[in-house]
Amino acid sequence: MRIKFTASGFCSSVGNFAPGDIAIVSAEIGQHLIRDAQCAVSAEVVVAEPVAEPVAEPKPSRARK
């Protein structure tokens, strides 16, 4: 689990941390720091599937006079 710290502190599994620091920890430690200690938020990266953009049809060329 990837978390981003929102406060300064120390944890035996991570060491010193400050706001903005990112750590990859086990799910149990991550949930503890997010729910119980309230010093981090989840920073999981969600990869969205690419959306196919519609292809514009070419405009007809103007006839020259």
pLDDT digits (tens, 9 = 90+) for 12-37: 989 999 999 999 999 999 999 999 99
| Residues 17 and 9 sit within 8 Å (Cβ to Cβ) | yes
- Please report whether residue 7 resides in a domain: yes
Q: Residue 62 domain-assigned?
A: no
Does 11 reside within a domain? yes
Is 20 within the bounds of a domain?
yes
Q: Provide CB contacts within 8 A for 24, sequence distance 6+.
A: 1, 2, 3
pTM of the model: 0.67
Residue 34 Cα distances to 23, 27, 50, 56, angstroms: 12, 10, 30, 46
